[in-house]
């Protein structure tokens, strides 16, 4: 079997067109422009690339966008003061602080300081709690994007055996939670594997849907995948540099071998990546509507 490609680029374009239309209506009917602020400490190339993509998408969709780039030695108090200012700025509906933060910063304290109503990343414990009890306002963007890819590709999650590889707060834990909810596009039986899992392949071979966020190229090889499985690759690994100086990216899955076994597979780049930014835009639009009391 050769897998069908799930194009995150195409699904993201579809959702962005829907968002753009809603933004135009929001402006015309209510004179509201969704506003997103991003805060970045330092010059980590992956983080700079994410933030640039987020800013670009916000502008393309007609959002108000504010980008705050800070040196990586910015003191905690200054970051807290900026978050506080953005919490109180009525032009801003969504506040995003790019993680990971430099070691001297207490990340939990920063994420706790973001007003949960403006927490378009869905990282604040208040929003994590709402997700877990099945009453989310803002789902974390990468897991929300994965769920949309499954739904919009017509992949049945109801009763499916889902195996997640990785237990990060950004991807592994939330996607496991989202897919086990009693809800449309969920209702799965979920297993989470991690670095202390005894026999990883035993679990991954049972998966109808395998979601991989391990952070390591070729963490999943063809022998670890069931014939006909749906494979979602969340990995973004920089494995080299092209002659023009662009990073060469690879996922966590041995794509060439696994695509011969899977029924559906996401490429890297062009799979989950474009969905993350799109779901951030959707959350920011939702924040603007919630603030104004619009359904
Ligand atoms: N770092 C990697 N992914 C993300 C994300 O979705 N949001 C934030 N704030 N930081 C990230």
SS3 for 134-154, per residue? CCCCCCCHHHHHHHHHHHHCC
Expressed in angstroms and rounded, the spacing between residue 99 Cα and the centre of ligand 1 is: 5
Residue 133: φ, ψ to 5°: -85, 5
Best residue for ligand 1 mutational test, from 98, 119, 273 (most atoms within 8 Å of Cβ): 98
pLDDT at residue 295 greater than cutoff 90: no
* Residue 276 beta carbon below 6 angstroms from any ligand 1 atom: yes
Q: Judge if the beta carbon of residue 101 lies within 6 A of ligand 1.
A: no
Average pLDDT over residues 69-96: 98
Nearest-angstrom CA–CA distance, 278 and 85: 25
Report the CATH fold assignment for 141-273. Answer: Rossmann fold (3.40.50)
Distance in Å, CA 175 to ligand 1 centroid: 14
Q: Which of helix, strand or coil describes residue 211? A: strand
- The verdict on whether 54 is a catalytic residue reads yes
Best mutation site among 37, 96, 113, 127 for ligand 1, i.e. most ligand atoms within 8 A of its Cβ?
96
Q: Taking residues 185-192, what's their average pLDDT?
A: 98
**pLDDT above 80: residue 122:** yes
d(CA 184, CA 181): 9
Q: Are 177 and 225 contacting, i.e. CB atoms less than 8 angstroms apart?
A: no
DSSP 90-133: TT-SEEEE-SSPPTTS-HHHHHHHS-GGG-TT--SHHHHHHHHT
Q: Average of pLDDT values for 96-113? A: 97
Whole-number pLDDT of residue 13: 98
Task: Tell me what percent of the residues of the chain surpass a pLDDT of 90.
Answer: 98
Q: With pLDDT > 70 as the criterion, what percentage of the chain qualifies?
A: 100
38 lines ligand 1 (CB under 6 A): no
Q: Give the number of the atom of ligand 1 that is nearest the alpha carbon of residue 47.
A: 1
140 Cα nearest atom in ligand 1: 6
Cα within 13 Å of Cα(198), Cβ side: 0
| 1 pLDDT above the threshold of 80 | no
Per-residue pLDDT of 204-241, as tens digits, reads 999 999 999 999 999 999 999 999 999 999 999 999 99
Contact (Cβ atoms closer than 8 angstroms) between residue 200 and residue 191: no
Across residues 111-128, what is the average pLDDT?
98
Q: Rounded to whole angstroms, how far apart are CA atoms 66 and 157? A: 37
Distances, alpha carbon 132 to alpha carbons 98, 126, 128, 175, 192, in Å: 23, 10, 6, 11, 15
Residues in contact with 235: Cβ distance below 8 Å, sequence separation at least 6, in sequence order = 212, 213, 214, 215, 216, 217, 219, 250, 251, 252, 253, 268
Q: Which residue out of 117, 118, 121, 233 is catalytically annotated?
A: 121
Q: Give me 84's structure tokens.
A: 């506080």
Residue 223 a catalytic site member: no
Span 121-140, mean pLDDT?
A: 98
Average pLDDT across the chain, whole number: 97
pLDDT tens-digit profile of 263-276? 999 999 999 999 99
Asked whether 285 and 34 are in contact (CB, 8 A), the reply is yes
Sequence spans of domains, the chain = 30-117, 141-273
- What tokens does 178 get? 């989202």
Cis check for the bond before 131: say yes or no (omega within 30 of 0). no
58 lines ligand 1 (CB under 6 A): no
Residue 19 token pair: 């968002």
Q: How far apart are CA 189 and CA 293, in angstroms?
A: 36
- Quote the ligand 1 centre to 179 CA distance (angstroms): 20
In the reported structure, the alpha carbon of residue 36 is separated from the centroid of ligand 1 by a whole-number distance in angstroms of 14
pLDDT tens sequence across 275-293: 999 999 999 999 999 999 9
pLDDT digits (tens, 9 = 90+) for 5-19: 999 999 999 999 999
Calculate how far, in angstroms, residue 251's C-alpha sits from the geometric centre of ligand 1.
17
pTM tops 0.95: yes
Radius of gyration, alpha carbons of the chain: 19
CA of 280 to the centre of ligand 1 (A): 10
Q: Is the CB of residue 170 below 6 angstroms from any atom belonging to ligand 1? A: yes
Residue 167: is its pLDDT beyond 80? yes
pLDDT bucket at 49, cuts 50 / 70 / 90: very high
Q: What is the CATH number of domain 30-117?
A: 3.40.50.10860
Mean pLDDT, residues 230-253 taken together: 95
């Amino acid at each position: 079997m050769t897998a069908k490609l799930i194009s995150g680029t195409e699904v993201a374009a579809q959702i962005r067109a829907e968002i753009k239309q809603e933004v135009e209506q929001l402006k015309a009917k209510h004179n509201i422009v969704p506003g997103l602020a991003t805060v970045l400490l330092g010059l980590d190339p992956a983080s700079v690339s994410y933030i640039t993509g987020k800013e670009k998408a916000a502008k393309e969709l007609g959002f108000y966008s504010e980008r705050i780039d800070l040196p990586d030695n910015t003191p905690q108090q200054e970051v807290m003061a900026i978050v506080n200012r953005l919490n109180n700025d009525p032009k801003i509906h969504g506040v995003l602080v790019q993680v990971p933060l430099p070691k001297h910063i207490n990340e939990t304290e920063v994420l706790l300081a973001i007003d949960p109503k403006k927490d378009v990343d869905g990282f604040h414990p208040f929003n994590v709690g709402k997700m877990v009890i099945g009453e989310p306002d803002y789902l974390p963007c990468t897991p929300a994007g994965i769920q949309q890819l499954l739904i919009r590709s017509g992949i049945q999650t109801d009763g499916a055996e889902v195996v997640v590889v990785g237990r990060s707060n950004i991807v592994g834990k939330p996607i496991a939670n989202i897919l086990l909810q009693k809800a449309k596009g969920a209702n799965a039986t979920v297993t989470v594997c991690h670095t202390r899992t005894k026999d990883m392949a035993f679990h991954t071979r049972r998966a109808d849907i395998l979601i991989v966020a391990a952070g390591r190229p070729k963490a999943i090889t063809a022998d670890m995948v069931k014939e006909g499985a749906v494979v979602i690759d969340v990995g973004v690994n920089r494995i080299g540099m092209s002659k023009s100086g662009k990073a060469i990216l690879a996922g966590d899955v041995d794509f060439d071998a696994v695509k011969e076994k899977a029924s559906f597979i996401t490429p890297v780049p062009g799979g989950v990546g474009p969905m993350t930014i799109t779901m951030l835009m959707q959350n920011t639009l939702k924040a603007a509507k919630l603030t104004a009391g619009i359904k």
